[in-house]
Amino acid sequence: MSLSVMAIHLLSAILFLSTLSFLSAADQFCEAGIGYGESGCGTLPSTLSKILIKGGTVVNAHHQEVADVYIEDGITVAVKPNIKVSDDVIVLDATGKFVMPGGIDPHTHLAFEFMGTETVDDFFNGQAAALAGGTTMHIDFVIPVNGSLSLGFEAYSKKAKDSCMDYGFHMAITKWDEVVSEDMEIMVKEKGINSFKFFMAYKGALMINDDLLLEGFKKCKSLGALAMVHAENGDAVLEGQKRMIELGITGPEGHDLSRPAVLEAEATGRAIRLASFVNTPLYVVHVMSSDAMDEIAKARKAGQRVIGEPVVSGLVLNNSVLWDPDFTTAARYVMSPPIRAAGHDKALQAALAMGALQLVGTDHCAFNSTQKAFGIDDFRKIPNGVNGIEERMHLVWHTMVESGQISPSDYVRITSTECARIFNIYPRKGAILAGSDADIIILNPNSTFKITAQSHHSRLDTNVYEGRTGKGKVEVTIAGGSVVWANGELKAVPGSGKYIKMPPFGYLFGGIDKTDASYLSSLQAPVKRFKSST
């Protein structure tokens, strides 16, 4: 046998084994009800399609119109009435339905190692669930490895290699030194990260104190990167936990009682004031209480650049579930900051409707019942986190639009566009415009949904929204120009998702240099004084 023939046989064998490897991975998820490719399980993905969405109401953040949308090679090519196309184009009839940008979830934790375990939803599985719910991009939090940002980025890049939708990264800062400072610059200038998260809670694990927070804020400002905070007073939370244990309160209700809203408000206000002192924009993640929201609203009214992000659990749930006599039921709702008492949810909804809060995330962080049971005798050991990546778009529509609190355009703004603007990827993302990525959903406002753990696509064995029903259902999801959810069938393809680099100096930084100059000119200092000649 000649060398050339042997080479051909060898190449054929490699390709065959590669195909088997792909199909084996796919078939594992087919058993969980997640299909692949154009015709379901066990098929390789096809090339990008030409798609015409016909006759729907196209909704952007500031405008809506009845129009057709033509997509080719993953890009929105045209948005106008009565587009004519050839026979090789897939036509989707959206008459009587809303055609909107796919959701962007600004706050997720996939494949997250925390409290001695790892979330059950990895990048492929969690993203597949997101697609079924109408979210087409998310931004996850990279956790440094032994404090190293570079090693953390490398680790998360490997975790995300099977992504089936587009994603970006925030970066957490868990310590401070010159290496971290230099690494932040690399992350911004080379790796496409434009936001850094600082934990004011989880003392002894992720928490940093005020002097490091100030250093981090200054570095963020110089790089044009957005500073983000998990706002709870970690020292007081630790004291609250000790108090509950001393009182014999060891169940999930102890989690709520140990970290009251006043501690969230205190840390939120402190972070806002420190950001004002540095004169840098601030993003407060998972705003769970009206107390914290009030701090944000007050700062924004005074002209400060502060973004408040509620999460869907805080908008629709209340803390009564933490007192359920069944531990498994109560523990599934443990997250930080905690889900608050009834009344906070309505206040957060109103703030979102009025613009005091700007966008909705999920803080999707999925731990199953076995993992939650780590804390059966001590609430401090219950892994913190709830689901939401699949449910967000439906629950926000039903809670906010169907109730009349906001318009469809507002819905697009708080679930997609504002996130794209804040993280400087608009209008590539967050819009249906010529040239935008073809990440699009078709939502039927007259169709109903029901949420159950049995039917969701997360690997979780429970769902904190179990049994909830509502109006407004995502019937079609298009991601990267391909139909990935339609007719109740999910066709997620491993490796089809792209890492989206997010450039620095987004719109929140506009005019910062002028306010700095104004501050310096207002000081009337240093004063020139003459020394006495005596």
pLDDT digits (tens, 9 = 90+) for 180-208: 999 999 999 999 999 999 999 999 899 99
Closest-CA residue to 332 (of 385, 377, 392): 385
How many of the other CB atoms lie within 10 Å of CB of 532? 5
- What is the distance between the alpha carbons of residues 141 and 363, in angstroms, rounded to a whole number? 10
Encode the chain (534 residues) as per-residue pLDDT tens digits: 443 333 434 333 333 333 333 333 333 344 433 443 333 443 333 346 899 999 999 999 999 999 999 999 999 999 999 999 999 999 999 999 999 999 999 999 999 999 999 999 999 999 999 999 999 999 999 999 999 999 999 999 999 999 999 999 999 999 999 999 999 999 999 999 999 999 999 998 999 999 999 999 999 999 999 999 999 999 999 999 999 999 999 999 999 999 999 999 999 999 999 999 999 999 999 999 999 999 999 999 999 999 999 999 999 999 999 999 999 999 999 999 999 999 999 999 999 999 999 999 999 999 999 999 999 999 999 999 999 999 999 999 999 999 999 999 999 999 999 999 999 999 999 999 999 999 999 999 999 999 999 999 999 999 999 999 999 999 999 999 999 999 999 999 999 999 999 999 999 999 999 999 999 999 999 999 988 766
pLDDT at residue 48 in the model = 62
Q: Using the 8-state DSSP alphabet, how is residue 339 labeled?
A: P
The radius of gyration of the chain's CA atoms, rounded to the nearest angstrom, is 24
Q: What are phi and psi of 108, to 5 degrees?
A: -140, 160
Q: Spell out where 62-102 has E strands.
A: 63-72, 75-80, 90-93, 98-101
C-beta of residue 137 within 8 angstroms of C-beta of residue 102 = yes
**What single-letter DSSP state applies at residue 360?**
-
Q: What is the predicted pLDDT for the residue at 24?
A: 34
Return the pLDDT at 28.
37
Tell the residue number behind the tokens 């504002």, with chain if given.
418
Structure tokens at 375: 């804390």
Query: What span, in angstroms and rounded, lies between the C-alpha atoms of 141 and 470?
Result: 30
pLDDT at 534: 62
Residues 330 and 379: beta-carbon distance below 8 Å: no
What is the CA 271 to chain-centroid distance, rounded?
21
In contact, 385 and 464? CB cutoff 8 Å? no
Distances (CA, A) of 360 to 157, 173, 207: 25, 23, 24
In order of 203, 228, 304, 505, the CA distances from 280 in angstroms are: 25, 11, 9, 11
Q: Give pLDDT, residue 530.
A: 87
Q: Do 172 and 196 contact (CB within 8 A), yes or no?
A: yes
The three-state secondary structure class of 350 is helix
Decide if 356 contacts 293 (C-beta within 8 A).
yes
Contacts of 78 (CB under 8 A, 6+ apart): 68, 69, 70, 434
Q: Residue 135 corresponds to which tokens in the numbers above?
A: 């979210």
For 170, other C-beta atoms within 10 Å of its C-beta total 24
Q: For position 533, what pLDDT does the model report?
A: 67
- pLDDT (0 to 100) of residue 4: 39
Backbone angles phi, psi at 414, to 5 degrees: -85, -15
CA 248 distance to own-chain centroid: 36
H or E segment to which residue 115 belongs: none
- Contact between 481 and 75 under an 8 Å Cβ cutoff? The reply is yes
Q: How many other C-beta atoms are found inside a 10 Å radius of the C-beta of residue 513?
A: 10
Specify which residues 166 forms β-bridges with.
137
DSSP string over 125-162? HHHHHHHHTTEEEEEEEEPPBTTBHHHHHHHHHHHTTT
**Whole-model pTM?**
0.91
Q: How far is CA 359 from the centre of its chain?
A: 10
CB 416 within 8 A of CB 408: no
pLDDT for the residue 532? 73
